[in-house]
Amino acid sequence: MSRTFNPPTDQVLELPEIHAWSPSRHRFDAESVWAIRAALHTGRPLLVRGEAGIGKSQLARAAAHVMGLPFLYHVIHARCEPTDLLYTHDAVARLAQAQVLGTPGQATDWREQLAEERFVRPGVLWWAFDWADARRQAKCACRSSLCAEEPEVCCKGCGEPDRPDGWQPGGRCVVLIDEIDKAESDLPNSLLESLGNTGFQIPAIARVVTRNDRENAPLVVITTNEERELPAAFLRRCLVLQMTLGTDDNQRRDFLARRARDHFDGKVIDDKLLERAIDLLLEDRKAGRDLGPAKPGAAELLDLLRVLADLRPQGKKKQAEALAQVRPFVFSKNPREELD
């Protein structure tokens, strides 16, 4: 499969709803396009750094949309284990099944029903490395009777991810690993071991899952909100894209104005009110440095503009009033000191 990546940078892309992701809009810039090209050609994961709400996660979704590839994602949380991205082994369900089968009158094929394979489900990297094998394993672990009766109907119950029309198993996937800074340090290092070795082992079922071939290696996009320092070994083996609003207020104003117009396409407010909203956001960002770590950004601006958009038929005066009233709820994130 070609590693060519040439999305339009002069127009806004409409991203359809997928899984829990609402419809959205995205515009590629030259820097992110080259970062994705580099990741495709080197086979390295692309680590995207930047504050929350700047569009890091959407970059992976938009890349999958442009290339017509499956979009797989896993959101990291504090209790994530290194294996969760590869597979899950539900030992608790197996123990519960064993207790049920131990009661009188139950099935005599208990060895088959308690086989370890029936309690292992593929994770996003298993699907990305070998889709056909992951599908077989998902069906093996499926408890639904539809698997035998109507396998095509049951595939979603088995956990098979959505795939674009025309894409065939064995092709490239895009994998988003979101907010990796929430995990302990052993997860990033274990992740790179699996990616670097182009496969992983599953001791419980004595299986080895390997990547199909180098040409169709998944595009792995990893995001961080910088809440925790990442291991140096992990950083060395990633390509890194730093997403920022800009280095000075003029660059930040330009970035925020473009983002607002891309998402609302001129249907929200006039330019003066938009400029006022951006000025207020930048004021609150500066104030946030003294009050705490949380500061408003692009996501907060879009939230505010959604309120103003609903008020447009009522006129500019209502919008200006709403801007003043809603600003504290949207832009002020840190606790305020009370006056004595």
What pLDDT, on a 0 to 100 scale, did the predictor assign at position 150? Answer: 52
User: b/e per residue, 214-229, with b = 16+ CB within 10 A?
Assistant: eebbbbbbbbbbeeee
What residue has token string 């290092």?
189
CA dihedral 322, 323, 325, 328 (to 10 degrees): 150
Q: What is the pLDDT of residue 268?
A: 65
Of the given ranges (82-86, 177-181, 252-256, 270-274), which has the lowest mean pLDDT? 270-274
So what's the pLDDT on residue 140? Answer: 84
- The pLDDT confidence band at residue 339, using thresholds 50, 70 and 90, is very low
Q: Is the pLDDT of residue 121 over 50?
A: yes
Burial of residue 111 (CB within 10 Å: 0-12, 13-18, 19+) is: exposed
Domain assignments of the chain as residue spans, ordered by start: 13-87+117-242, 249-331
Does residue 155 carry a pLDDT above 60? no
Share of the chain above pLDDT 70, in %: 84
**Residue 170 region, left (φ>0) first, then alpha (ψ -120 to 50), else beta?**
left
Considering only residues 293 and 165, tell me which one the structure prediction assigns the higher pLDDT: 165
- Domain 13-87+117-242 part of CATH 3.40.50.300: yes
CA-atom Rg of the chain in angstroms: 24
Q: Tell me: the pLDDT tens digits for 261-302?
A: 888 876 666 788 899 999 999 998 888 666 566 788 899 999
Tokens of 210: 């390997």
pLDDT tens readout for residues 46-57: 999 998 889 999
Task: Give the tens place of pLDDT for each residue, 193-229.
Answer: 888 877 889 988 888 998 766 678 899 999 999 888 9
| pLDDT tens sequence across 227-244 | 889 999 999 999 999 999
Q: Which of 278, 275, 277, 264 is nearest to 310 (CA)?
A: 264
pLDDT for residue 256 is more than 90: yes
Q: Give the helix/strand (H/E) hosting 86.
A: none
Question: Of 42, 33, 22, 41, which is closest to residue 63 (Cα–Cα)?
Answer: 33
